Amino acid sequence: MSTLDVIAARRSAARLVGPGPDPVQLGRMLEAAAQAPDHGRCRPWSFTLIPAESAAAFGDVLASAYARRCRETGEPVDPERLAKERAKASRAPVCLVVACRPRLDGRIPVHEQFAAVAAATQNLLLAATACGFGSKWVTGAAATDPAVKRALGLGEHDGVVGFVYLGTVPESARQRPRPSGEASPSVRVWTYAESHPAEPASTDTGGDR
Ligand SMILES: Cc1cc2nc3c(=O)[nH]c(=O)nc-3n(C[C@H](O)[C@H](O)[C@H](O)COP(=O)(O)O)c2cc1C
């Protein structure tokens, strides 16, 4: 597939089954992720694999974070949602947490470092597509939950850019066609005149002088 074909073929997969990428394939995908544009070579990304043997424990972290958020907001705990949180890390063969750990020396703005990590995440998804795997990038309330961040070893200024799921798209899942026009954004052409509108004609009659 050409690069453009890979970009056009990438979709968020609703369901991912085995097999997932093996360690060599995953390594290549992460190398592709780390080729992202990165102003100042900050290397702000961090990738954390939630291995199958830790998926239940990470699910517990997500579930108790959800329950705590409910207590804080006074919302009743939805048992279905609780079970969904608990099962999240096991819903695909590979669950990766992509985070930004920005350098705070002021040299490169923090928002640019988050942009670099978003670019790395997209590289990861495209590399997965190129290797024949499906992917899904999600965030949700867990991404900004302080207890989830703590469990991942992230600090106050760090942020989860996405939970990335990788695996095989089941045969039965049809490729969702893009709504027409979605992949062809309109482009506005800037002109100098637009930013310098003509001065309105003067209505000053000079009567007060
Ligand atoms: C920063 C970010 C966060 C996202 N979070 C979620 C999410 O929480 N849940 C979800 O279903 N999709 C999430 N997505 C995936 C997009 O919504 C998805 O790409 C969109 O549905 C378009 O589908 P496509 O990827 O097949 O083009 C996220 C994407 C990005 C870039």
Mutate to test the pocket of ligand 1, among 10, 97, 137 (most ligand atoms within 8 A of CB): 137
In the block, residue with structure tokens 């947490």 = 97
Residue 84 forms part of a structural domain? no
190 has pLDDT over 90: yes
pLDDT digits (tens, 9 = 90+) for 63-75: 999 999 999 999 9
**What pLDDT does 199 receive?**
73
β-pair partners for 47: 98
Instruction: Report how far ligand 1's centroid is from the alpha carbon of 139 (Å).
Output: 8
Q: How far apart are CA 120 and CA 123, in angstroms?
A: 5
Residue 187 forms part of a structural domain: no
Q: Which atom of ligand 1 is nearest to the CA of 140?
A: 8
User: Could you tell me if residue 155 is inside a domain?
Assistant: yes
Q: Considering its fold, how many domains does the chain have in total?
A: 1
Residue nearest to atom 5 of ligand 1 (CA): 138
pLDDT digits (tens, 9 = 90+) for 8-40: 999 999 999 999 999 999 999 999 999 999 999
Question: Per-residue confidence at 197, pLDDT binned at 50, 70, 90?
Answer: confident
Q: Quick check: is 116 in a domain?
A: yes
84 ligand 1 Cβ < 6 A: no
Determine, yes or no, domain membership for 39. yes
Where helices occur in 11-145 by DSSP H, the ranges are 23-33, 55-73, 79-87, 110-130
Q: Does 86 count as an annotated binding residue?
A: no
Check the annotation: does 10 bind a ligand. yes
Predicted confidence band at 184 (pLDDT cuts at 50, 70, 90)?
A: confident
Confidence band, pLDDT 50/70/90 cuts, at residue 89: very high
Q: What is the mean pLDDT of residues 181-188?
A: 84
Structure confidence at residue 202 (pLDDT):
62
Name the 3-class secondary structure at 81. Answer: helix
* CATH number for the domain harbouring residue 27: 3.40.109.10
In a domain, 26, yes or no: yes
Q: 144 CB less than 6 Å from ligand 1?
A: no
The alpha carbon of 12 and the centre of ligand 1 are apart by a number of angstroms equal to 7
> Is residue 69 in a domain?
no
**What tokens appear for 147 in the block?**
């207890």
Q: 134 in ligand 1 pocket by Cβ < 6 Å? A: no
Tell me 50's DSSP state: E
Query: Does position 200 have pLDDT exceeding 90, yes or no?
Result: no
Closest CA to ligand 1's atom 10: 138
Distance 118 CA to ligand 1 centre (A): 12
Is pLDDT above 60 for 206? no
Out of 5-9, 63-67, 178-182, pick the least confident.
Answer: 178-182
Residue 178 domain-assigned (yes or no): no
Cα–Cα distances (Å) from 108 to 46, 162, 185, in that order, read: 17, 22, 29
